[in-house]
Structure 1
Amino acid sequence: MPGPAPTPPWSGETAALVTQVVDELTRRLARDAPHPPADLVDTAGDARRHALARLRVLRDVRLAVRRLEDQAAHAAAASGAGYPEIGQALSMSRQGARRRWPGLITNSTPTPPSPESRSL
């Protein structure tokens, strides 16, 4: 089994860049929304409506990231990674990864049938 994946030295820089990009994206999507959602139309000011619209966009971003993590975990498992490596990549324990993706890692090595199970 391969050893744990090293943490890249630029991971802090990556997080800062992703934060900046997501912040810009959510502000733009919230600002460019043609109409605020019906439940946000009330006597609240523009700042409140904008902040609530941004929260809705950030919720959608979180769901999208979760789907992308699922896809990447499946690809990692298909490439031979185990729960310890997948957990480490997400800064979680092996058990945490196993709870999030139960059954993701399976022992696909077929076992030969026992002599008792063969029909004559």
Structure 2
Amino acid sequence: MSDAQCADLTTAVEQLAWTAVREMLQLQPDAGPGSDAPDADLRQMWLAALTSLLAIRDSADQLAASAALSAAQYGADYPAIGDAAGMTRQGARRKWPGLAGLSDERQRKLTWWNRRGDQFVQCVRAVLMASEETSEQAPRLAALRGRLDEIEQTSPAQRLDVFDMALVDAHAVAVGAPSPAERTAARAKGLLAALTADAYAAMNSHSSLVIREDLACGTDDCASEPIVELWHPDFGHGPVSACREHAIEALGQPDIRIVAACRPDVALSVFAEAYGEG
């Protein structure tokens, strides 16, 4: 930034701080550091100005972190972020860790959304229509309805951010209650669980939901490689790993759903085969 731009920015921040001072102290619009007021009143104004300026600094730090995150998502690396922040690459990495690779993650997310977004939205609609709004489920369903509205109303550039939260809410709804007795409704809920598992695997994020390589199939004496994790109310505190054969077999039972997958599209292919659609 040029010296003139920096000076203009400083003036704008100062004006913002004094606007906050007048609101905090309920002063007249013309009250300020140059006003003819008693020393005690001016002292109170300057203390309020200090409070306001430090709050502005904290807000600016939060906005700077958000800007660094967004820049990384759009392809900026640490040298570029450090240069923009007036620090070294190492300094930027210490200040804002975890930004490396976000551009690749965003691209994976965009690729998945372009391939499966319409299917995801249609599946969410089907689940919402078929779900019973019990006292436990009502908040989850309301949250998911809100996410769906946001997806449909936001611009494509903002849609991916909304999609992150929609996945969380969709996952909660998909595994949060027993499957409906009606087969079509049960299929929609199972498909939504498989779609969220596929999305997390495709994006290579939320590692706690992605199967680990050292796990084995949860069926006794099965040496086959596990490819998904299954959830059922009777399983206890965690999901159970399953190979393809045992996953397909298990999905024939009520309330069992896929909640994680070891790689993209596995969850959907297992689900399709279990429902005779493969």
Q: Same fold (TM over 0.5)?
A: yes
Question: How many Å apart are 1:67 and its aligned residue?
Answer: 1.2
For residue 47 of structure 2, the aligned residue among 48, 52, 77 is 52
For residue 91 of structure 1, the aligned residue among 75, 86, 89 is 86
Stretches of structure 1 that go unaligned for 5 or more consecutive residues are 1-9, 36-43, 111-116
Stretches of structure 2 that go unaligned for 5 or more consecutive residues are 27-38, 106-203, 205-213, 215-224, 227-278
Letter in 2 for 1:99: R
How many aligned residue pairs are there? 98
Percent identity between the aligned chains? Answer: 38
Separation in structure 2 between the aligned mates of residue 13 and residue 65 of structure 1, nearest angstrom: 20
Question: How many Å apart are 1:29 and its aligned residue?
Answer: 1.4
Aligned to 2:62: 67
* Structure 1 segment 33-52 matched on structure 2, within 5 A: 33-34=24-25, 45-52=40-47
Separation in structure 2 between the aligned mates of residue 58 and residue 92 of structure 1, nearest angstrom: 23
Separation in structure 2 between the aligned mates of residue 11 and residue 78 of structure 1, nearest angstrom: 27
Q: Note the alpha carbon deviations across 1:8-46, whole angstroms, 9 max, x for none.
A: xx53222111100111111121123246xxxxxxxx701
Larger RCO (CA under 8 A, 6+ residues apart) = 1
Choose between structure 1 and 2: higher strand proportion: 2
Question: How many Å apart are 1:64 and its aligned residue?
Answer: 1.0
Q: Note the alpha carbon deviations across 1:57-96, whole angstroms, 9 max, x for none.
A: 0011001111110111011100111000000001011011
TM-score, normalised with respect to structure 1: 0.70
Separation in structure 2 between the aligned mates of residue 12 and residue 73 of structure 1, nearest angstrom: 23
Letter in 2 for 1:49: Q
Structure 1 SS opposite 2:101: coil
TM-score, normalised with respect to structure 2: 0.32
Provide the aligned C-alpha RMSD in A. Answer: 2.6
Aligned to 2:100: 105
Letter in 1 for 2:82: G
Aligned to 1:16: 7
Larger Rg belongs to: 2
Letter in 2 for 1:11: S
Separation in structure 1 between the aligned mates of residue 60 and residue 2 of structure 2, nearest angstrom: 17
